[in-house]
Chains A and B, each alone.
Chain A
Amino acid sequence: MKISNLIKTHCILAALVAFSACGNDDNSGPIVEAPSKYVVMTMSDNTLAKPGYVTAFDELPSGDVSNVTTNTLQGQGMGGWRPQQNMLLKMFRTQDNALGIERLNVSTNGVITPGNFISADNSTNGSGNFVIGTDGNGFYWDGADPLKIQKFSAATLSRTGELDLTDVVNERGTNEAGILYRSIGQKFLAIKEGKLYANITYATTNGTQKGFFDDFYPNVYIAVIDVATGNYEKTIEIEDTGSIAYINDNNMYDFDSNGDLYIVCQGRSAVGGKSKIVRIKAGETDVDASWSINMDEIQEGGKFVTVYANEGKLITTIPNTALTGGPTGNINFSEIWEFYSIDVATQARTKIAGVPAVTNPGAAFATVEIDDLVLLRVNAPTQNINGYYSLSGTTATPVFNVTEGGSVSGIYKITLE
């Protein structure tokens, strides 16, 4: 996730507005850069409600830091977040872990408070999955209307309308008895070059896990919709995989600096199998059939859970052993996930040096860019490491380590307005 360019643009625009407001008689002083905050989230207990803390720092933390200060916000749903542009957004409400879209506000003195909230169906995972366009208008999915995509304003954080895509979903499978649940946009929503991309779910279950690791078809289907008109254009496919993206704050896709969109598919089951990273190139609206990275060719029984793209390189994690699920499985809390840099052109993989194997990044973004630094989330409790490393080339060095507040879930820089 890259935020420095967005924030720079935001600051420049703010400065231009401030400058243009000055009259001729104004004795212009130096342009004061809008203050920024570096916000860190941690999860204090590994329970279903994901309790934790969020703290705003004036500078990028360094060394050992506490994430519990007098300005800290304590709440639930702190397993990760989905900041976009200059907004701290998350899919789980702070006060009760309810599904939807919530904004966290940061005051100039660093106090964080929960802000507006869009409520979505709490009984269906994926409710609140959202994306925001550059114009501040966004789209989200609500399990209460699984065949529609909801529209919302990021400025007011309120629903503004909906797109009924029932016919799009029903283009296939209407006579298949094995399909028990259908939805559109439940796991993957992305906006690229004026088009909204929304995954179509055809699921074999209709219970607690409906829509997740229960694909009916071997291919993943994505509807392409024109953002400006809301018109459906076509459905594209990712062949022979499953479970595109996921249900939580980690959207599991990223744009390279050239506009190429890279998408994670976790595979046929929670513990992988046919997991891959695919792309839609800049200027294209179809999946690049000639390019993919297949986990089965790297680590049998593994899967991708994160991707960061920048200047032709992908940063991701690869398990160093086959994944196992269930009560004694290694998938979540064993330190088996290793950071790799993958060259997009050659697909050559380079293990990032200086970083131990980590726990599953889960809802957190494993890689985030702040102040031109590429930061890796490193959570390795057995190594007494719980913080962020800075990546330079293919080597990473520690930046800060969180000693109080729980496992790190994310860091993001915002400019105060």
Chain B
Amino acid sequence: MLKKHILYLLLFCIGTTVHAQSQDLAKLTILVIDKTNAPAPHVTIELDNGQKTLRQVTDERGKVLFESITSGDYIITTQMLGHEQSKTPIHLNGGDQKEVTITLLQNSKQLNEVTVEGKTDKQQVSENAIRAVVVDTRAASQEATTLSELLNRSVGIRIRQTGGLGAPPDISLNGFQGRSIRFFKDGIPVDYLRDGYNLSNIPLNSLDRVEIYKGVLPASLGSDALGGAINFVSHQSKRPQLEASYELGSFNTHRATLNGIYSPNNGKWYAGLESFYNYSDNDYWAQVEVPDPETRNPYPDRVRLFHNGYKSYYAEGFFGFSNRTWADDLKISLAAFEINREVQHPALMTDPYGAIRSKQSSIVPTLRYKKAFLDGRLQIDQFLVYNTVNLGRTDTLQGRYDWYGNYTATPGNIGESRQPSLSSIDFDNFTARTNMRYELGQRHRLHFNYVLTDVGRKGSDPYGPVIVSTGQDVLQFPASYLKQVFGLAYESEWLEGRLSNTLMAKHYRYRSRGIDAWTASNVDIDNEKHQTGNYWGLAEAIKYQLNTASFIRLSAELANRLPEQDELFGNGEWIVPNFELRPEESLNLNLGYRLERQNGFSLEANTFYRNTKGLILLIPVQAPYAQYGNQDNVRGYGFDVEITYPFWRHFAFNANATWQDLRLFGITNSQDAWKNDARLRNTPYAFANAGLSASFNNLFQKGDAFKAYTFYNYVREFYLETIPKRSEPGGFLGLNGSAQINSSLIIPTQHNVNLGINYSPASLPLSASFEVKNLGDANLYDNFRVQRASRSFHLKIIYSLNKT
């Protein structure tokens, strides 16, 4: 029934819009190019006949299309940051279909003397009807800051890490965590890269920006995210450039990037490289409990971690053709990555390990094709990838380490952890993403997006579980997972662009195959099981521009998060299958207001409501096995507010705060009914950031740039496990004191201050930065009893052959 309604609604929207098109009006296509004849995207174009002004922004091909224009004389005005404003007269008659090419000219004036009318990519994304927090990694790339640290400064976002560089991150958006949040690279689901490309290892210099969607996702991000998504956007410009950076930090930390692209003046082809390297011993100081060798009573000590290293590289070479008759852009890439990680301790810092290691690697060929048809009204963006990611874990040591790194042999006792392992698991991945955009009119667009993901798993582990009846390695039984996500969106603008609307429907399908394999079961390859499912989602986002400085927006979404392959079929080791899993379902509502003044002052306030059913959590079934199951229902609301305030010409202050009240509901089991209305466990509910920066030009020499900055981060204590609502801390918003019980399961309040400076001399294509992290050398915890890095110092140098 729901399917019919959605289809009818979409057909109605399309039908009425198409019907509105007039047949006797003119059509004007404008192509904007720069002095190298390369297309100039994101240029603001105004078409003015003295009575009415139409405004659009050029797309990636440098084009805009004005339709349904009445006949008459017009002035075409182009506006672009750093370029001369141009005015071109044109006369249009009814039925005309004209195409005009305009060349942008560089502005010789200082940038700060230009009145900026055009909007950058970042501004456009952040001002869409669908809310996105845009983190300008390019602007922060001079800092010796990690991506996680940068995102943690943003409103409503909390990145939790379990250690130093490379530690697996967990992001919390509006209280959604883990797999409820999906990740993308340039709009493509990034699952095919596993940990090779994620928050913990991407240097800022490798990105142009990060888009963070909380709640509704645009149709172009085809995924089954439940509560948000993060889109890593790499550098899109094809202008020749080369940039290298190197960072040296405490704990023997080395990070390097090398990014470059070359294209000839005619812009017909290009080639480039995107690469980064990370290494750290992560041997920071941590507070642990060391058992006395005689009494075995533990005593607290601050020790230096000794087996916590991390090394990774990612390198992507690409070659492409652009501005051809057969392709606007055809990009062929070959990437490779490898991660090697030392494992210092189990989930909590209870025991020291000295030899456990894990690794991941893959070679990743990809293809991306973009082409516009029908005078640019139809744009197609196709992506394909096929690769195999190999995961391995080694835990075969016959001995034990203590926290000081001393070794004792324990012959015959294999493995330091509970799970001895010598695993090698291959994940074969095929991902295809098709995105189509069709201009129904000047202010009406249709988007279609389709993502197919096909993953197969097969591996071995001589120390892993075996099928009791046959002695076969459970991992040798293959498992596969096919997921398809269809998205269709209708974007429209009304009231001369003041009202923007996006209506979207998504359809999710999956099919999974595998063996009900756990060690005690009596199965063989012929007992393969299948699981399928298909579900619908619906979203609506609306934005109303109150005036030139402010707008409000409202969005709603019915979202599904499909069970993943390993949740359905287990991991072939100690997580066993559950074929009864249902998708997580959520109703998300968001309401926001944004004010941005010409002087740089901005204020943004947002609130959200969510109602989520069937959160998938890992639960034990029969020791040592665990299994994913639909567990908690969560609903609640939250708000966040952010201000930016530039003052005294050189200074800027920004601050944000987030508070959320997410609670369990719908528990009917009498034994657990007391948990109704309890706060969602292990989820930060109040956190805030503040930053102060001072920027000076011409400080030591003409044309140089100096910046000093400090950032403060606060996270209110929260509880690892459920406590009844009546026992929660009191005071305003529950921010005062501690819970009314004696809890050993608190993630304590944390205060963190980072301090840094940047300097870019005018005479050299260099910039240098220095940063102190965790200035107070505090014991910081994002997760229960897993300490983050102690105070550290970082120096970063960037060499840029062509500054962009």
Interface residues of A (CB under 8 A from B): 44-48, 51, 53, 66, 68-76, 94-98, 100, 111-114, 116-125, 142-144, 146, 150, 156-160, 181-182, 206-209, 212, 247, 269-271, 325-329, 331-332, 379, 381, 384, 386, 403-407
Q: Which of A157, A158, A384 is within 8 Å of B670, CB to CB?
A: A384
Check A158–B296 contact: CB distance below 8 A: yes
B669 contacts A381, C-beta separation under 8 Å? yes
Complex Cα distance A25/B532, Å?
A: 87
Q: Is the CB of B296 within 8 A of A100?
A: yes
Task: Mark out the residues of chain B between 663 and 721 whose CB falls within 8 Å of any chain A CB in the assembled complex.
Answer: 669-675, 720-721
| Contacting residues, chain A, for B785 (C-beta < 8 A) | 95-96
Given A119-B297, A327-B621, verify A73-B742 contact (CB < 8 Å).
yes
State the CA gap A159–B293 with chains docked (Å).
9
From A113, A122, A270, residue with most partner B Cβ within 10 Å: A122
For the complex, give the distance between the alpha carbons of A396 and B740 in Å: 35
Quick check: is B417 within 8 A (CB to CB) of the other chain?
Answer: yes
Complex interface: chain B residues within 8 A of A327 (CB): 518, 576-578, 621, 625, 627
Given that A74-B745, A119-B296, A381-B671 are known contacts, is A46 also in contact with B723, CB under 8 Å in the complex?
no
| Cα distance A208–B626 in the bound complex, in angstroms | 13
Q: Are A75 and B745 in contact (CB under 8 A)?
A: yes
List of B residues within 8 angstroms of A142 by Cβ: 296
Chain A residues near B346 (CB-CB < 8 A): 122
Residue contact A406 to B672, C-beta cutoff 8 Å: yes
Task: Judge whether A123 and B351 touch: CB under 8 Å.
Answer: yes
How long is the Cα–Cα vector from A206 to B415 in the complex, in angstroms? Answer: 9
B624 at the interface (CB under 8 A from A): yes
A165 to B225, alpha carbons, bound, how many Å?
57
Kindly state whether residue B108 has any CB partner on chain A within 8 Å: no
Does B627 contact A74, Cβ atoms closer than 8 Å? no
The stretch among B406-414, B446-454, B484-492 that forms the contact with chain A is B406-414
Does the CB pair B619–A46 fall under 8 Å?
Answer: yes
Contact between B744 and A159 (Cβ–Cβ < 8 Å)? no
Q: In the complex, A48 Cα to B619 Cα: how many Å?
A: 7
Q: How far is the CA of A159 from the CA of B292 in the complex (A)?
A: 9
CB–CB B744/A114 < 8 A: yes
CB nearest neighbor in B for A214: B468
| Interchain CA distance A271-B521 in the complex, whole Å | 12
Q: State how many angstroms separate the Cβ of A384 from the closest Cβ of chain B.
A: 4
Within 8 Å by CB of A123, from B418, B580, B625, B727, lies: B418
B742 near A158 (CB under 8 angstroms)? no
Residues of chain A within 8 A of B520, CB atoms compared: 269-271, 325-326
Collect the chain B residues with CB atoms within 8 Å of residue A122's CB.
346, 350-351, 418
Q: B741 an interface residue at 8 Å Cβ cutoff? A: yes
Contact of A207 with B420 in the complex, beta carbons under 8 Å: yes
Main SS class of interface, B:
loop
Answer whether A329 and B622 are a contact pair too, CB < 8 Å, given A113-B742, A404-B724: yes
Residue of A nearest to B408 (CB): A144
Check A332–B622 contact: CB distance below 8 A: yes
B400 within 8 A of A: yes
CA distance A332 to B621 in the complex (A): 8
Q: Please report the C-alpha to C-alpha distance between residue A298 and residue B110 in the assembled complex, in whole angstroms.
A: 93
Q: Which of B521, B619, B624, B740 contacts A47 (CB 8 A)?
A: B619
- Cβ–Cβ contact A68 & B727, under 8 A: yes
Per the bound structure, the CA–CA distance linking A74 and B346 in Å amounts to: 22
Residues B671 and A379 in contact, CB atoms below 8 Å apart: yes
Smallest CB gap from B520: residue in A: A325
Cβ B742 vs Cβ A123 within 8 A = no
> How distant is B569 from chain A, measured CB to nearest CB, in Å?
11
Cβ of B600 under 8 Å from chain A:
no
Give the top 5 A-B pairs by smallest Cβ distance, nearest first.
Answer: A158-B295, A119-B291, A51-B721, A384-B670, A404-B674
CA distance A38 to B267 in the complex (A): 82
Shortest Cβ distance from residue B355 to the other chain A in the assembled complex, whole angstroms: 13
Closest Cβ–Cβ distance, residue B479 to chain A (whole Å): 15
- Besides A122-B346, A206-B463, A207-B464, 20 new A-B residue pairs in contact (Cβ under 8 A), listed by A number: A47-B618, A66-B674, A70-B740, A72-B741, A74-B741, A75-B744, A116-B297, A118-B297, A119-B296, A122-B418, A123-B417, A142-B296, A156-B295, A208-B418, A325-B622, A326-B518, A326-B521, A327-B627, A404-B724, A406-B671
Tell me, yes or no, whether B722 is within 8 Å of chain A by CB: yes
CA distance A406 to B675 in the complex (A): 9
Interface of A is mostly: loop
Indicate if B342 sits at the interface (CB-CB under 8 A): no
Determine the residue in chain B with the shortest Cβ distance to A405.
B674
**Cβ–Cβ contact B721 & A45, under 8 A:** yes
When the two chains form their complex, are residues A96 and B420 in contact, meaning their CB atoms are under 8 A apart? no
Within 263-291 of B, Cβ neighbours of A (below 8 Å) are at 289, 291
Whether A71 lies near B577 (C-beta < 8 A) is no
- Specify which chain B residues have a CB less than 8 angstroms from the CB of A157 in the assembled complex: 297
Contact A53 B741 (CB under 8 A): yes
Contacts of A71 in B (CB 8 A): 742
Query: In angstroms, how far is the closest chain A Cβ from the Cβ of B298?
Result: 5
Which residues of chain B are within 8 angstroms of A386 by Cβ–Cβ distance? Answer: 670-671
CB-based contact B745/A48 at 8 Å: no
Flag whether B321 is at the interface (Cβ < 8 A): no
Q: Which of chain B's residues has its CB closest to A69's CB? A: B741
Closest chain-A Cβ to B406's Cβ sits at a distance in Å of 13
- Who on chain B is nearest to A206 by CB? B414
Contacts of B724 in A (CB 8 A): 68, 404
* Cβ contact within 8 Å between B741 and A68: yes
Residues of A within 8 A of B744 (CB): 73-76, 94-95, 114
A159 adjacent to B742 (CB under 8 Å): no
Nearest chain-B residue to A101 (Cβ)?
A: B296
Closest Cβ neighbor of B739 among chain A residues: A74
| Bound-complex Cα distance A325 to B521 (A) | 9
Which residues of the partner chain B approach A74 to less than 8 Å between Cβ atoms?
721, 723, 741-745
> Of the candidates A51, A206, A212, A404, which one forms a contact with B420 in the assembled complex, judged by CB atoms under 8 Å apart?
A206
Nearest residue (CB) in A for B722 is: A44
CB-defined contacts of B721 to chain A, threshold 8 Å: 44-45, 51, 74, 76
A282 → chain B closest CB, angstroms: 34
Least Cβ distance of A189 to chain B in Å? 16
B627 proximity list for chain A (CB < 8 A): 327
Contact partners of A97 in chain B: CB under 8 A: 348
Q: List 28 A-B contacts (CB under 8 A).
A: A44-B722, A47-B617, A51-B745, A53-B741, A70-B741, A74-B744, A75-B743, A75-B745, A94-B744, A96-B348, A98-B350, A119-B296, A121-B400, A122-B350, A122-B418, A142-B296, A182-B412, A206-B412, A206-B463, A207-B414, A207-B464, A209-B623, A326-B622, A328-B580, A381-B672, A384-B670, A386-B671, A404-B674
- How far apart are the CA atoms of A182 and B577 in the complex, in Å? 31
What residues of A have a CB within 8 angstroms of the CB of B574 in the complex? 208
Q: Which listed residue, A73, A123, A124, A326, touches B741 by the CB 8 Å rule?
A: A73
Complex contact A159–B419 (CB within 8 A): no
The complex places the Cα of A69 from the Cα of B745 at a distance, in Å, of 16
Residue of B nearest to A159 (CB): B296
For B292, list chain A residues within 8 Å (CB). Answer: 158
CA distance A71 to B740 in the complex (A): 8
Q: How far is the CB of B356 from chain A (nearest CB, A)?
A: 11
B620 and A47: CB pair below 8 A? yes
Chain A residues positioned under 8 Å from B625 (CB to CB): 326-327
- Give the docked Cα–Cα distance between A69 and B578 (Å): 37
**A64: min CB distance to chain B, Å:** 11
Q: In the complex, which residue of chain A has the Cβ closest to the Cβ of B580?
A: A328
Q: How would residues 514 to 529 of chain B score, 1 for a CB under 8 Å from any chain A CB and 0 otherwise?
A: 0000101100000000
Q: Is B113 an interface residue (CB 8 A)?
A: no
A46 to B620, CA, bound (A): 7
Shortest Cβ gap from B282 to chain A (Å): 21
Complex Cα gap A206–B770 (Å):
50
Closest A residue to B720 by beta carbon equals A51
Known interface pairs A68-B727, A73-B744, A381-B670. Does A209 touch B624 (Cβ–Cβ under 8 Å)?
A: yes
Contact of A181 with B412 at beta-carbon distance under 8 Å, contacts A44-B721, A327-B577 already known: yes
Q: Which of A44, A70, A206, A331 has the most CB of B within 10 A?
A: A44
Q: Which residues of B contact A125 (CB under 8 A)?
A: 418, 623-624
> Are the CB atoms of B418 and A119 closer together than 8 Å?
no
